[in-house]
Amino acid sequence: MTKTSKKLLLVILLTVLSVFMLNAKVFAVSNVEQAVAELKNKNNFKDRTVFVGQRMEVFSNNNYSILYYIRPTIKSSNPKVVDLEKDSITNLIAKSEGTATITLTYVHTYEVEVQDNTQENVDENVVGTSTPTTRYETKSETITQSYKITVKKPNDAKLQSKTNDVVSLTNNYLDNKTKVLLANGELWNLNGNTGKLDKKETGNVKKYTYGDAYFREGKNSKWPMVYHTLKNNKKLTTKTDLGTFKATNVVDVNACGYLNSKGKFYGLVLKNDKLSYKQKAKNVEALLGDYLLKKSDGLYTIGDVKIVKAKIKDAIGDPGSGIYLDSKNVLYKYTFDAKTKKYKTEKVEKNVKEILNWGVYKTKKGKIKTTYKDYPNYEYKKSYYTSAGQYLRLKYNGNLYIEDTLILKNVAEIEYSAEDFYQKYIVKKDGSIWLINIGDNSSLKQIRSGKDSAKGLSVPTKVKAKKNGKTKAKVTWKKVDGATKYTVYRATSKNGKYKQVGTAKGGSYTDKTVKKGKKYFYKVVANGSKKIFNSKKSDAAKVKM
């Protein structure tokens, strides 16, 4: 390379570098100016209401360019209520109930081009000519913004009734709805906009479950959304994005299939782009979670592969690993060995009362333990890390926390709102439903009383009684949605004292204690899953033997 070409290359490189530096400076300046413009917008910061223990970003609009280019000083008017989190320049922490004003002070430093006419730049080659000198002065402006933060502790002193009529609260992402199953067998949609149970989906429901069933048969591998509705009459409806399927004589269901009354487990399978139920196992006593089967001779996977030969009380896990409790209250953990293709079991502890969650169990003395070492959240039934920047945790004792701050007691369940990631639905042990919002503006409101749906079942109608031989009377009636059974009462006069004579699961009952020549009057009550849902007695039906 010649000297001339080297010089030319150097000139090109310097030119490119200078253009890059200029663009970088313009980019930085434009970001600073944009940040300053946003700071001067009075609507940029808004007052907030949060809960004790809640962590917050300093900026309600999360504008990190402001932090990067013009780092503020941040002061709280009441550090005992709200203050900067330790070792943080961006997060505030709510400490106690009260009000605090957060003041942010920014010093914006910039250069201004100034023409100085007092000094002349004389061109020596041109007599009598001069131009003003250009120089730069450093200036600064102070911008102050403030907003108020109100910290409150949720009120837990309401509605301590004992209806307990919410069985489950389940998100259905397929329909973007939250489903509420009541103890009287009603399945409702929870409207996120109105906060009400605005549509009764169906009645007579025993169980509703939602999951992501996966299929690996044939050449395909798909993960369709699946949800099951199982009614008390043993009729199952399964809806997926690949079709709707129905089954009868069903006693239990999980995300991957169902168990019928004959002990046969049918799993959802996909083959040649067609979805169907296929028998996967027989002689099954119960479903244990989504992946395990209980048989009289041991614990199995849903694919009917034996894990261990032992009488099982309960188990949780998947085909690869989990824990199980045997009939002698001894807890074991199991793992699958890929080399030997056999299951290994390891004794964990004896005198165990119950399994609570994956790896979590309770001893006979009531102590909660875990099989996972160094796992800090095992004492929590559920734990959510919200996008607002804190943990929302529910302990097994019913206490609900934001981080380490107790906000509610007597909580039975907590679930995501299908409408908003910031929101959670809370079911308390009294049957009430609450909506908690954790964001820039936090709130907790009751959207359903525990007494709202604590109503009795419909009274049985079309009650009739007739002779069924010389010493039998048959009572019939129309079945009631949501009834788990029926109680039959009898008296010897229409307005006499009615005493219970028996129960029935269907729409008829045969009384074998009647005597020839006597009159009898019968009334029927529909029984719910809890006594509070029992119907009133029906009209009397008469029969003469």
Mean pLDDT, range 365-373, rounded to an integer:
88
CA 231 – CA 203 distance, rounded (Å): 8
Say how many C-beta atoms besides its own lie within 10 A of residue 239's C-beta. Answer: 17
Asked if residues 239 and 174 have their Cβ atoms less than 8 Å apart, the reply is: yes
As given in the structure block, the two tokens for residue 233 are 């009459």
Residues 6+ apart with CB under 8 A from 87: none
Amino acid at 482: G
Q: What is the residue-averaged pLDDT of the chain?
A: 81
Asked if residues 536 and 525 have their Cβ atoms less than 8 Å apart, the reply is: yes
Residue 88: per-residue pLDDT: 79
CATH 2.60.40.1080: which residues of the chain?
Answer: 3-112+133-152
Mean pLDDT, range 306-332, rounded to an integer:
94
Mean pLDDT, range 207-229, rounded to an integer:
73
**Over the stretch 399-420, which tens digit does the pLDDT of each residue have?**
998 888 888 888 888 888 877 7
pLDDT at 109 > cutoff 60: yes
pLDDT at 374 > cutoff 50: yes
CA 2 – CA 18 distance, rounded (Å): 24
Residue 254: per-residue pLDDT: 92
The residue with greater pLDDT, 505 or 29, is 505
Any idea what DSSP says for residue 86?
T
Mean pLDDT, range 185-211, rounded to an integer:
82
Longest CA pairwise span in the chain (Å)? 145
Residues 6+ apart with CB under 8 A from 302: 256, 257, 265, 267, 280, 281, 290, 291, 292, 293, 319
Residues 6+ apart with CB under 8 A from 128: none
Hey, what CATH class is 3-112+133-152 in? mainly beta
Mean pLDDT, range 250-273, rounded to an integer:
90
pLDDT at 344 > cutoff 90: yes
CA 156 – CA 399 distance, rounded (Å): 11
pLDDT at 4 > cutoff 80: no
> How many percent of the chain have pLDDT more than 70?
81
CA 491 – CA 489 distance, rounded (Å): 7
Least confident of 60-74, 136-150, 381-395, 470-484: 60-74
Residues 6+ apart with CB under 8 A from 502: 487, 488, 509, 511
Side-chain-side CA neighbours of 373 within 13 Å: the count stands at 1
Provide the CATH number for the domain formed by 461-544 in this structure. 2.60.40.10
CATH 2.60.40.10: which residues of the chain?
Answer: 461-544
Mean pLDDT, range 456-471, rounded to an integer:
88
> What separation, in Å, do the N-terminal and C-terminal C-alpha atoms of the chain show?
124
pLDDT at 29 > cutoff 50: no
Residue 298: per-residue pLDDT: 95
Distance of CA 145 to the CA centre of its chain: 37
Asked if residues 494 and 537 have their Cβ atoms less than 8 Å apart, the reply is: no
Mapped onto helix, strand or coil, the DSSP state of residue 4 is helix
Mean pLDDT, range 382-397, rounded to an integer:
81
Lookup result for tokens 């293709």: 341
The phi and psi torsions of 158 (rounded to 5 degrees) equal -115, 155
pLDDT at 11 > cutoff 90: no
- Of 452, 537, 453, nearest in space to 497 by CA: 537
